[in-house]
A and B are shown apart, each in its own frame.
Chain A
Amino acid sequence: MSKVLMKGNEAIAEAAIQAGCRYFFGYPITPQNEIPAYMAKRLPEVGGCFIQAESEVSAINMVYGAAGAGARVMTSSSSPGISLKQEGLSYIAGAELPCVVVNMVRGGPGLGGIQPAQSDYFQATKGGGHGDYHLVVLAPSTIQEAVDLVMEGFDIADQYRNPVMILGDGMLGQMMEPVEFRPLSSKRELPPKTWATTGYTGDRPRNIINSLFIDPQALEEHVKRIYRKYEEIKKKEVKVECYNCEDAEIIVAAYGTTARIVKSVIQKAKREGMNVGLIRPISLWPFPTSTFEEWAQREHVKAFMSVEMSMGQMVEDVRLSVNGRKPVYFYGRTGGMVPEPNAILSEIKKVIGGVSR
């Protein structure tokens, strides 16, 4: 199939449709408005349903309902809107339902700004809503990767009966790149949705979608069972890219669009005679802990540095993974400011100067 030039937001919406998503419930917010706009136009053409809800809270609960009925369903928003969806996300995770949620992150806290940011990392990877749960969080750095991850995300959600979040940012949503809509390289065995509330006809036990467990013993058992599922996800679903790590003196950790900027910096550093590597977590949860562990044990790696569009969030997971084996530094911009290649390079030089002394 030939390539098309598409905006990140539109490509994500089309990928969802091609993955079989037929229901979308959302509420407008910059910088992700092209997703609902595209869905509003395209879903009726494929026999689906688009609803612009009266609020984000309403939209996520419509997702809860459609997911409970066994449909492939998606919602999208940006930071403040995703905060509003947290209650529903906790319920969906508690009720073990599959869905895909896109967060095109903008600067915060509060209403913040509309320019790209990565300051929702904690919210996305540590639960976000109340209770013991995780979302599977996938962070694409190109539009092609966003398309591929949205398609796979629906499968992951169905396989584990767990919400999957696509964590992008305003830049990924607004920019255009060539993309190809291609079938997934790996086919998953997806369990039939025998639990879905599709209407009782007497030929199976009644299905109930629920996240309420009044008996604490039953709730603990329920949560522990979900966590055994998470252990399996941690084993099987880690995605990570290592770039130029062989012989690297310093390894930068960066994800999403920031990782692209870091790649440019690495090329520049190479021309100046410095060996800099990049570990790019693609799944932010599960986090590629063992990848960091492995590289932290290499003699040639003197230090790590997390570069983010935040005040330092993923750096905590990098530190936990490196676990004191090597120093971990941080450089970030926030509020919608994007780190400049030269500023990253001078931070890298500072670290190299410090560790080789």
Chain B
Amino acid sequence: MTHQIIIAGFGGQGIMLMGQLLAYAGMLEGKNVSWLPSYGPEMRGGTANCNVIISDEPVASPIVTEATAVMVMNRPSLDRFEGAVMKGGLLLVNSSLIDKKASRDDIEVCYIPANEIADQLGNSRVANMVVLGSYIAKTGVVSPASVIESLRKALGPSKEHLIPLNEEALKRGAECVKECVRR
């Protein structure tokens, strides 16, 4: 199985980190992985996206053109990447910031109020982890434990206190996928 993932949002939402955690977790679980960022004269508030591949086979092209899953964290990203989901694929929409519904009827769509959940948890910055929690719960591509282990490496010992919050965010995200819509 090859998971071809696109994650998109605006700079500052933790888009790149979501992708890196996925790739790192995949590597920890012995999979072949790649992480490819969009790069350019980018900044907080601008657009950001990355491509992640997690596969049992060696990764050929690191570029994702037909995604098994797309996660969009803001409205422009939905407009840009909805079409990149392959038929029968998965689209995760941050419904806190995106008031529009997806227009495709050949894919499965999960609406996740990520920012609202993050705010309930007391830190709006974990909205990305909520969506990531939804994605891994839905697909089982990697375990939450591997994501947390990756996060621990990314944050370092000085930010160990943030781990429980992130674990909770993954869990809350996982609960949302019961309401995904397959048309």
**Residues of chain A whose beta carbon lies under 8 Å from any beta carbon of chain B:** 3, 5, 30-31, 114-115, 170-171, 174-178, 257, 260-261, 263-264, 267, 338, 340-342
Contact = CB atoms under 8 A, between A and B. Distances in A.
Contact of A177 (B33, B37, B41): B33
9 contacts: A5-B23, A5-B35, A114-B41, A115-B40, A176-B36, A177-B33, A177-B35, A261-B60, A342-B65
Interface string B33-66: 1111101110000000000000000011111010
B61 A31 contact: no
A260 B61 contact: yes
A212 to B, nearest CB: 42
B65 A341 contact: yes
Nearest to A116: B39
Given A5-B23, A5-B24, A5-B27, A176 B60 contact: no
B36 A175 contact: yes
Interface of B: 20, 23-24, 27, 32-37, 39-41, 59-63, 65
Given A3-B27, A5-B27, A174 B36 contact: yes
Contacts of A178: 27, 32-33
A31 B39 contact: yes
Given A178-B33, A341-B63, 4 more contacts: A114-B41, A261-B60, A263-B60, A264-B61
Contacts of A338: 63
Contact of B60 (A114, A171, A264): A264
B35 A176 contact: yes
A114 B61 contact: no
Nearest to A266: B60
A267 B4 CA distance: 15
Nearest to B39: A174
A138 to B, nearest CB: 20
Given A5-B20, A5-B27, A174 B60 contact: no
Contacts of A263: 60-61
B36 A114 contact: no
Contacts of A342: 65
A30 B42 CA distance: 12
